[in-house]
Structure 1
Amino acid sequence: MVADSDVLVSMRGVCKHYPLFTMDNFNLTLPRGQVLGMVGPNGAGKSTLLKMMMGLVSADAGEIAVLGYKVPEQEVVLKHYAAYVSEDMRLFADYSIRWHMELVAQCFTSTWDASYAKHILHKFELNPEQKIGHLSLGQRVKATLLLAMARRPKLLVLDEPSTGLDPVARHELTSELFELMLNEDNGVIFSSQFTQDVERLSDNIAFIDNGEMISCLDKETYLDQWRRIQLTGGDRAQLPGDLYVTASAGGRVTAIDHAFSAKRTAQLSEAGFEVVQTQPLTLEEIFIQQVLMRRQARGVQR
């Protein structure tokens, strides 16, 4: 039976050290009924985080609880209710999709949903009699996702689930995840290199770089507050310190603002500037700017 908790994932003070990678005092919370998308460059620590949640990698310090179960102490029970899929998972090449479905159904008799599995087979256009070794990369990804999603997990953990999928298949995947989340008790946490998928699916988005959480906010906050603004007049030295100047020429300054509002416009006006134009940023642009600003603050070469 799933432990009673309003929080699906809780990570407190988590640390992990490798020779060329360090994660110190990492904190993360995922409430019930939420989808959390994780964005970060290669080597940021996304896969390490997800593996620690599932007990596949041991944390050096800190506390991890998933679905109310302590990890790694209770990971065996946890894995009955949480499903994990990563881009490097391997199925048995000489056996069919149907064979894999029957195997997983026998392992998870209380949660396997045969009708839902059939639905996903049709939606993903998979032939259950095909052997895994004869599938394309995209088809193998779909088959792996089918085996996880048909278990009807309370928490679905996906590490780069869209890798190898064409745009149509990626759209199908996100549509199925939406359907899975119709139950407000469930949750999904996933990493992806496709910011469009993260923006479409996520309630909250975590930006991660070099083992650190840069920010974790709801999607609307990011998209509402971040703007590219063009200014004229005024003295650049009088610009607010939290604006990130990207260009300055011919009396015009272009800057990135992470807290744009009417109050900001008034602040700039008082300093002698006129806001000529504002443009919303895409999620990808916001992420890149956050990484650049963080690295600049730490004195890292841009």
Structure 2
Amino acid sequence: MAVRLENQSLIKVIDKRSERRRHFAKHKWLYLFLIPGCLYLLIFKYIPIFGVVIAFKDFSLVRGIWASEWVGLDNFQYLFQSKDFYVVLRNTLILSFYQLLWGFPAPIILAIMLNEVRHMAFKRVSQTILYLPHFISWVVLAGMIINFLSPSTGAVNTIITSFGYKPIPFLLEPSYFRTILVSAEVWKGMGWGTIIYLAAMTGIDSSLYEAAKMDGASRVKQILHITIPGILPTIVILIVLQLGHILDNGFEQVFLLYNPSTYEVADVLETYTYRIGLIDGRLSFSAAVGLFKAFVGFVLVLGANRIAKLFGHNIW
């Protein structure tokens, strides 16, 4: 009896191995296409994780990572005792809140509007035009913003002065900086963000819309009771992922638009880390800031997923 059971288990193992071989042979090209992506993640994402140790050391380029002096939590202690850190953290959180408040719903609203367009040629042209800003680099976009808002030659101030008012130095006024930055980010990413939501809408059963029309439901009611519930899982996934980047405002856009007169509202963790780490040469301190950001993002993703589970939309 024992010999029979052993033979059966051996046969199962052999069957599983042969099944795996057949599966790999069938999908070998797909696995080959995965290799570059896996190598990229390994080289640029996973191997550099070992460098996080410099956050706990007094890192020296001459000594190297492992030979540098171990200082424990000194970098984190200095970080949390620094007054500049709390100003930078406040600016980061405020900008992230504004980007989440205005930037997250914008692609959803735009995708719903595009989904309601019935003229296919107009819909395709509109989508193409709305996608284009995504491909404009922040260097070019920052130059456009500076030129448009220039007090002397900018188109905006030309209109303002034509009504008899004085030109406004928008980029030198702290009160305007956040509005300009968030508006530019929403305009740049709004069209590209609609791709995911439009793809999610294609998965909604068309018979639901037909049944709603037969029951006399208006377009607005169809959107509220069919379209939005149909893309709600996608919305939940994206908002959970975005919460993980709550302390990421983007280095390029802030660095290219801010100046000393707007530091009080524009200086964020990315620019702070750049100044401290690269300009001042305190790489250990900048690594501590980066590790703090990663930890906060990790906790927020776990918390958001836990909240999503309560509503039946868990990710994992």
The answer, yes or no, to whether TM exceeds 0.5 is: no
Query: TM-score per shorter chain, which class?
Result: under 0.3
For CA contacts below 8 A with separation 6 or more, give which structure has more relative contact order.
2
Larger radius of gyration: 2
Higher helix share: 2
When you count strand as a share of all residues, which structure comes out higher?
A: 1
